[in-house]
Copies of this chain bind each other. A is one copy, B any other.
């Protein structure tokens, strides 16, 4: 086993400050926020930032792990409370809405879901995929979800809906319509 010696106190301090500042920065400027600027605002050198988080993706993910994790948990809650079809619909709703409300999270969801070679196979992304898989499979067994849809498709489509909704900045109702369209489309052919 990899003997993980605990982080030095200063390292831990910086790590946490960076996360806090990063979350603010992403919220304020979107996923493109300047990394050097985040480092500066956290009062550390850029070297420190890049050592802790080698890529923008890594930082983005670290800043939002809790939300992703919460979403994965939520999937199982809904799965326990509702019939599979409804659980999936409701979860997709929360997923899309959440993704849009938190600037920067859309980018994260997107990258977690590519199958490009260098895809960041992030731990929490995996959680999410597994949670989605459980909902999808249950709904398919029940017959309320098209059979030709894979779990990963659902996540990609959620990303697509979030993207479409973003284009409709001015129209607050768009997201509701787009999510409903997605869930309608997911039902088996008549």
Contact = CB atoms under 8 A, between A and B. Distances in A.
Interface of A: 110, 113-116, 146, 148-149, 152-153, 156-157, 159-161, 163-165, 167-171, 174, 177-178, 180-187, 189-190
A148 B180 CA distance: 11
Nearest to A187: B184
Contacts of A113: 167
Contacts of A170: 115-116
- Looking at chain A's contact residues, is the secondary structure mostly helix, strand, loop, or mixed? helix
A172 B183 CA distance: 23
Given A160-B161, A161-B160, A153 B177 contact: yes
Nearest to A149: B177
A163 B165 CA distance: 12
Contacts of A152: 168
26 contacts: A110-B167, A113-B167, A114-B169, A115-B168, A115-B170, A116-B169, A149-B177, A152-B168, A153-B168, A153-B174, A153-B177, A156-B164, A156-B167, A156-B178, A157-B164, A160-B160, A160-B163, A160-B164, A160-B178, A163-B163, A163-B164, A180-B185, A181-B182, A181-B185, A182-B185, A184-B184
